[in-house]
Amino acid sequence: MNQRIPFNRPFMTGKELYYMAEAKFGNMLAGDGPFTRRCHDWLENKSGCGKSLLTHSCTAALEMAALLLDIEPGDEIIMPSYTFVSTANAFVLRGGVPVFVDIREDTLNLDEGLVEAAITSRTRAIVPVHYAGVACEMDTILETARRHGLKVVEDAAQGVMATYKGRALGSIGDLAAYSFHETKNVISGEGGALLVNDPALIVRAEIIREKGTDRSRFFRGEVDKYTWQEVGSSFLPGELIAAFLYAQLEEAERITDERLAIWQRYHELLKPLEAKGLIRRPIVPEECQHNGHMYYVLLAPGIDRQKVLDALKKSDIFTVFHYVPLHSSPAGRRYGRTQGSLEVTDTQSERLVRLPLWIGLTAEQQENVAEVLKHAIG
């Protein structure tokens, strides 16, 4: 009988429940308590961002970004189609129009060479998505944004503990969003963070996160009472979530190192399949340090992906494809527009298979995955 290999298994460091109990006995369960402050300090020190603010999801952080940029109906936001729906939804909620641009063949990231052609008089921002924890070509994107007076919002949902030319993902654009969803490397079940690198946006970010009030300034003694200042919502997580997350952040380097080791083991095991032209392994540019978030393969043209997935499942190995490109979805066609052909997006998205990757996955299990994959492609 085969040993079941799930696609994902949430990892716990061992301190999560202890810290959650500490939060409870500290008699503060609402947001922005001691554990939230510890998380903020850790994120700011590790990433070098100007200000970090925990949110209840990465989606919430992106929605805050749209509010901070004062996105209005008809404003255009350039992004890849090969991304999670939240990247687009956050701006569509404000009336914005996602403009979908094709991705690079190597990293599956936004093709920086195609961005400029997508810019119009209505363009307000560019949203690079760091796919699989591998950085977009940020120097080119930032230079393009500067020339056209645009803001850059990094969707770094998969980018915690990854870098571009030595800089932490999330610290490069004007704004950035992290995810701590249970499928990510560092987790809190649900959770995220907004990273603010433009100093002019920090005070407003705090206000928007606190229901549109200056409550944070009140608690710091900067104002004598707090009042409704502008449109906002309740974006902060409770202290139990922050306590769980802090236990993870303390072990973020170990978590990353272990995931990178698993990633590298897959990379070696699957080298022969790539040499035979049956798959393509992930490509990581030299200037990028990834975080072992995801291991995927691109099947050679002509290989039936569903048959491969079914064969793996029959052996109790649970693998998945990833996004259905947004430009081909009903909402994507309704709310967005495409810039040019998205041929690479269409082609690569139909070839991609994500393999199980979680802390505790053994070398023997990985060898089993590689062997079954080989026969499934066979």
What is the reported pLDDT for 225?
74
Phi, psi of 255 (to 5 degrees): -60, -45
How does pLDDT run across 150-162, given as a tens digit for each residue? 999 999 999 999 9
Q: Are 155 and 129 in contact (CB under 8 A)?
A: yes
Beta-carbon contacts of 134 under 8 Å, excluding residues fewer than 6 positions away, are: 107, 109, 162, 282, 284, 285, 288, 290
How does pLDDT run across 321-358, given as a tens digit for each residue? 888 999 999 999 999 999 999 999 999 999 999 999 99
The CATH number fitting domain 16-250, selected from 3.40.640.10, 3.40.50.300, 3.90.1580.10, 3.40.1190.20: 3.40.640.10
Q: Which residues, given as ranges, of the chain have pLDDT below 50?
A: 1
Question: HEC profile for 132-144?
Answer: HHCCCCHHHHHHH
What is the reported pLDDT for 2?
65
What is the reported pLDDT for 214?
81
**Polymer length of the chain:** 378
- Helical pair 34-47 and 239-250, crossing angle rounded to 10 deg: 40
- Fold designation for 252-377: Aspartate Aminotransferase, domain 1 (3.90.1150)
Average pLDDT, the chain: 96
**DSSP per-residue string spanning 135-171:** ---HHHHHHHHHHHT-EEEEEETT-TT-EETTEETTS
Q: Are 130 and 107 in contact (CB under 8 A)?
A: no
How does pLDDT run across 45-77, given as a tens digit for each residue? 999 999 999 999 999 999 999 999 999 999 999
Domain boundaries, the chain: 16-250, 252-377
What is the reported pLDDT for 158?
98
Identify the H or E element spanning 80.
strand 76-80
